[in-house]
């Protein structure tokens, strides 16, 4: 049995690389926002914001390729069945490629529905469509990268996902600067940079896996990889996670759509403020990803004492880390606005809403960490049910609070995170802290 000190060391080993890699993701979004925020019109900023939300629907929706793979691979690792980790990688890659074909085939219909639901101005919609129809071609690389990230984390390796995230996002940032600043491609340049960076990342992932883990690929037989019992379990968990993720992405898309309905200025403000929320979520998700790896391993090994100990320790560290981020937002929150735009009227109008950003680091932690714990335990039904209830509360809150303008929108979004954290805490005893819970 591991001592608390050993559990802490394992958390550090897995969480720190994940925090570093996750910080590079919102950094990219921040650079996109800063580049668009310095162009001659706020329409560019709104277009990238809406385009990003649409791809959140797509790529967060298919996030089950990473989440399901991480949980199942970690459990296989805990059972000392590393060949199953290899089969899980190929299973996820095949599903990712098949999903990409569907996305390519129905991209125009998906775009039409998306822009119909997001009530933006004609100028913003035109630019967002340009962004969409370029970035969609990153789909195969992005979905296959989900599979590699999942297997690496399941194998208790957080260094490779960190390296991949850093390389992909640095390449993306450099290409952004070249395409937007030097070549003047604006929205199209941001989208093309993302496409190229994703394929470079996929190539690196293949090299890393081949260099360290090629021995776990013991079969290429499709009948074994796509065995009905294994595929059924993978798809059952994935369908729950897909519904959970779709609900969350819908809630954020609905928040953005309501922002756009208020005005282009409110849309631009909230696009900037959501960068703070992204910074927070990706930072805390470093601990959530560590939870996925460790909880999955201990569940696979049927080690309930260490599963419970890991849960307690990760929550302690995550709340401490969240408190530090809250202090950073208190001290530097207003100054950070200037990182995203040089339009002084926009900065002044954004300041009153920073209060929601300041409380977020403590309020949101429970939802983020429970997500990682439940995913590692593959307790997907509880995640699904919790999010459905929370989103219904969010929609009710939007309806009741939207007369209060943008403060009402932020109040509803905060309630969504609180509801997720509370409901998952209540469900933990039933779904997590018993042998064989799933």
Least confident of 4-8, 26-30, 196-200, 363-367: 26-30
* SS3 labels along 248-272: HHHHHHHHHHHHHHHCHHHHHHHHH
Give me the pLDDT at residue 60, please.
75
Q: How far apart are CA 436 and CA 307, in angstroms?
A: 12
Least confident of 147-161, 333-347, 372-386: 333-347
Give me the pLDDT at residue 438, please.
41
Please determine, for residue 26, whether its predicted confidence score (pLDDT) is greater than 60: no
Structural domain includes residue 36: yes
Structural domain includes residue 94: yes
Contact 233, 69 (CB under 8 A): no
Q: How far apart are CA 76 and CA 54, in angstroms?
A: 34
Contact 181, 98 (CB under 8 A): no
Based on the structure, what is the number of domains in the chain? 1
DSSP for 303-349?
-HHHHHHHHHHHHHHHHHHHHHHHHHHHHHHHHHHHHH---HHHHHH
Structural domain includes residue 436: no
How distant, in Å, are the alpha carbons of 45, 279, 346, 357 from that of 272?
9, 11, 10, 11
Please determine, for residue 242, whether its predicted confidence score (pLDDT) is greater than 80: yes
Mean pLDDT score, 101-127: 79
Please determine, for residue 170, whether its predicted confidence score (pLDDT) is greater than 50: yes
Contact 285, 416 (CB under 8 A): no
Per-residue pLDDT of 348-372, as tens digits, reads 888 888 899 899 988 999 999 999 9
How many Cβ atoms from other residues are within 10 Å of residue 393's Cβ?
Answer: 16
How many Cβ atoms from other residues are within 10 Å of residue 265's Cβ?
Answer: 17
Structural domain includes residue 298: yes
Q: How far apart are CA 122 and CA 265, in angstroms?
A: 15
Structural domain includes residue 437: no
Give me the pLDDT at residue 413, please.
94
Structural domain includes residue 438: no
Mean pLDDT score, 318-324: 91
Structural domain includes residue 398: yes
Q: Copy the structure tokens of residue 428.
A: 């933990």
Give me the pLDDT at residue 197, please.
92
Please determine, for residue 30, whether its predicted confidence score (pLDDT) is greater than 90: no
Give me the pLDDT at residue 100, please.
93
Mean pLDDT score, 115-125: 71
DSSP structure class, residue 342 = -
Q: Give residue 287's domain range.
A: 4-431
Q: How far apart are CA 141 and CA 96, in angstroms?
A: 9
Structural domain includes residue 258: yes
String of b and e for 94-125 (b: at least 16 CB within 10 Å)?
Answer: bbbeebbeebeeebeebbeebbeebebeeebb
Give me the pLDDT at residue 37, please.
61
Task: Please indicate whether residue 112 or residue 211 has the higher confidence score (pLDDT).
Answer: 211
Count Cα neighbours of 232 within 13 Å in the Cβ-side half-sphere: 3
Give me the pLDDT at residue 229, please.
86
């Amino acid at each position: 049995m591991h001592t608390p000190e050993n559990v802490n060391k394992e958390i550090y080993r897995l969480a720190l690389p994940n925090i570093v890699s996750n910080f590079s993701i919102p950094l990219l979004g921040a650079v996109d926002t800063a580049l668009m925020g310095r162009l001659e019109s706020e329409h560019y900023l709104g277009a990238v914001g809406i385009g990003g939300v649409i791809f959140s629907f797509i790529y967060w929706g298919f996030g089950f390729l990473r989440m399901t793979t991480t949980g199942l691979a970690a459990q296989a690792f805990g059972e000392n069945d590393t060949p199953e980790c290899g089969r899980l990688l190929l299973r996820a890659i095949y599903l990712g490629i098949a999903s990409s074909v569907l996305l390519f085939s129905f991209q125009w219909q998906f775009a039409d529905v998306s822009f119909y639901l997001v009530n933006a101005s004609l100028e913003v919609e035109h630019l967002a469509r340009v962004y969409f129809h370029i970035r969609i071609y990153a789909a195969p690389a992005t979905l296959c990268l989900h599979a590699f990230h999942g297997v690496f984390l399941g194998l208790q390796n957080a260094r490779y996902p960190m390296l991949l995230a850093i390389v992909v996002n640095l390449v993306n940032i450099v290409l952004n600067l070249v395409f937007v600043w030097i070549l003047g491609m604006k929205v199209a340049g941001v989208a093309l940079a993302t496409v190229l960076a994703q394929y470079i990342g996929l190539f690196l992932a293949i090299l890393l896996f081949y260099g360290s883990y090629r021995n776990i690929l013991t079969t290429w037989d499709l009948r074994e990889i796509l065995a009905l019992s294994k595929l059924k379990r993978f798809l059952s968990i994935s369908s729950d996670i897909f519904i959970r993720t779709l609900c969350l992405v819908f809630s954020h898309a609905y928040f953005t759509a309501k922002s756009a309905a208020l005005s282009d200025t409110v849309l631009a403000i909230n696009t900037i403020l959501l960068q703070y929320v992204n910074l927070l979520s990706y930072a805390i998700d470093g601990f959530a990803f560590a939870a996925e790896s460790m909880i999955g391993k201990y569940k696979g090994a049927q080690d309930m004492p260490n599963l419970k100990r890991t849960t307690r320790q990760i929550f302690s560290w995550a709340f401490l880390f969240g408190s530090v981020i809250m202090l950073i937002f208190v001290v530097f929150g207003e100054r950070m606005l200037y990182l995203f735009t040089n339009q002084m009227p926009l900065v002044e109008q954004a300041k009153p809403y920073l209060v929601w950003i300041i409380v977020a680091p403590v309020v949101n932690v429970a939802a983020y960490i429970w997500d990682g714990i439940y995913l590692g335990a593959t307790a997907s039904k509880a995640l699904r049910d919790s999010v459905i209830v929370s989103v219904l509360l969010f929609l009710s809150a939007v309806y009741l609070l939207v007369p209060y303008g943008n403060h009402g929108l932020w109040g509803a979004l905060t309630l969504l995170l609180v509801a997720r954290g509370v409901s998952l805490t209540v469900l933990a005893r039933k779904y997590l802290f018993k042998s064989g819970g799933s």
